[in-house]
Structure 1
Amino acid sequence: MAMLSGKWALVTGATAGLGLAVAESLAAAGANLVLHDLVAPAEAADRLKSRFGVDAISIAVDLSKRAAIEAMMSDLLARLGGVDILINNAVVRHFAPVEDFSPEKWDEALAVNLSAPFHLVRLALPAMKRRSFGRIINMGSIYSTRAVAERIDYVTTKTAIIGMTRAIAVELAETNITCNALCPG
């Protein structure tokens, strides 16, 4: 029996790259998957179902919209009873010097890269607590600890995700729910 058999994992930003690689690893360990992206990653879900024999659902949601996040999580609660594993991987990045950085792009980066993980954790925790099990992984970056020019949104939000992860981990320290950050780079 696979280590994560019967568990449901939500991976945001799962169409390609790191998100898809994480989803593949979870499927290989037996987890059922909810694959999220702006465009529902149906092909990826079908591939993972057939390759690993797990259930997989694909969902398209704009994570810059709190109401859309709340609707998705409410639907997952009704359909699955919630998720056991949450991988906050989705991200937006923009490139510009600070003085030229669009306020709209700044707001979008804060919404997707920082507020969405907060809302997803907030909404996933009640079901995890009822099950006395949960794993939350927030994707940081090498830029969580250092800066680079013309990436104010990415450096700021990836630095903040580390602080958010620490705060959540401390709150959950006496439960069987963990919250960690991975910082690829």
Structure 2
Amino acid sequence: MKKIYLTFLIAAFGIAAHAQSKGDNLLGLGFGTTTSKTEDFQSGMTSKATTYSAALNYGYFFKDNQKLFALLLYNRAKSDLDDLANNYYNIGVGYGRYFPLLKKFYAQVLPSINYGFTDNDDVNGISSKTTMVQANIAGGVTWFPFKHFGFELNVLSVGFGYTKSTGEQNNNGAVYKTTQSSFNITNQGNLNNQTFIAYLKF
């Protein structure tokens, strides 16, 4: 039987206790928001930064509990201190493997390759752009308590990537163009970096 899932990054639903079977399809739509507040005790100033995200993904199970997937991601971060926004765009492809743990719980491993870029502005009107290529592997758990709904939580993510930044720099009124390249290894293992997903199956 064909299955289609609608994915929400921040939601409160639950998922079916059925294994993902060969030939199943996954269609995901995600959204989320994060707000952080910073207070300067010396000056008494308080600033708030808000990040909004939206994601679209598709997966196909070519074997039972094994899928190939593609995703699109957009993030927008804005601070009330300078009223400027930073935009992040990402496209990725990957492989997902699910391992049964208990009747309604699965462990999951999700290696992927991602390409992303940002465009940013600072308070002086100087812009910069950053391009990133990253190989990433995420691990987590999936819970299927109901037939048409469920939860997924990625609890660890490790990546190796290449980043290139180009932009302008203001030095005493003179504007210079700069380019920086770097390789990096990242790991995320705390709840601030988790991806919580709820699925709607139909």
Q: Output the TM-score relative to the length of structure 1.
A: 0.29
Structure having the larger proportion of residues in strand: 2
Bigger Rg, which one: 2
Quick one: higher RCO (CA 8 Å, sep 6+), 1 or 2?
2
